[in-house]
């Protein structure tokens, strides 16, 4: 498996994000919340978006947290690889970082985000018909 996050995998646009946030299922693990939306429109499409709430007041910190979430997803996306049952669906996921991150400049915060992302990816895989 290649550890890359290609442009074709990234969810873009306000409408796309708001559709997933308003109609998708929600999961939470630590400082990261995940929204999942499955459609039967296209086949074998996985789109992923990353955002951080405005509760994190500093834009530099929001961007840092977003980069950490992208990196954690990129390194661990094999935990949630599309399987046979997902080939007929469009799966859209939005990861939302919250303001509950204590010190967004520490390695401890980065580790907490990575652990939350791993937990969420495993849960998503389990919910979409994968083995636990």
Cα distance between residue 77 and residue 48, in whole Å: 11
Say if residue 8 is exposed, middle or buried (CB neighbours under 10 Å; 0-12, 13-18, 19+): exposed
> How many Cα atoms occupy the beta-carbon half-sphere of 57 within 13 Å?
2
pLDDT (tens place) for every residue of the chain, 132 residues total: 567 888 888 999 999 999 999 999 999 998 999 999 988 776 678 899 999 998 888 899 899 999 999 999 999 988 876 554 555 678 899 999 987 776 777 888 899 999 999 999 999 988 877 655
Taking the domains of the chain in order of start, what are their residue ranges? Answer: 7-123
Describe the strand order of the beta sheet including 32-39 as a list of residue ranges: 25-29, 32-39, 90-97, 45-52
pTM: 0.87
Please tell us whether the domain made up of 7-123 is placed in CATH 3.30.70.260.
no
């Amino acid at each position: 498996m290649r550890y890359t996050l290609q442009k074709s995998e990234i969810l873009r646009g306000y409408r796309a994000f708001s559709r997933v946030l308003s109609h998708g299922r929600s999961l939470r693990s630590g400082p990261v919340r995940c929204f999942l939306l499955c459609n039967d429109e296209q086949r074998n499409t996985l789109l992923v978006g990353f955002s951080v709430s405005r509760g994190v007041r500093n834009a530099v910190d929001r961007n840092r947290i977003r980069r950490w979430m992208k990196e954690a997803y990129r390194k661990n996306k094999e935990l949630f690889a599309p399987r046979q049952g997902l080939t007929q669906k469009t799966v859209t996921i939005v990861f939302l970082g919250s303001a509950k991150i204590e010190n967004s400049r520490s390695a401890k915060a980065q580790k907490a985000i990575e652990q939350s992302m791993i937990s969420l990816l495993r849960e998503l895989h389990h919910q979409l018909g994968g083995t636990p």
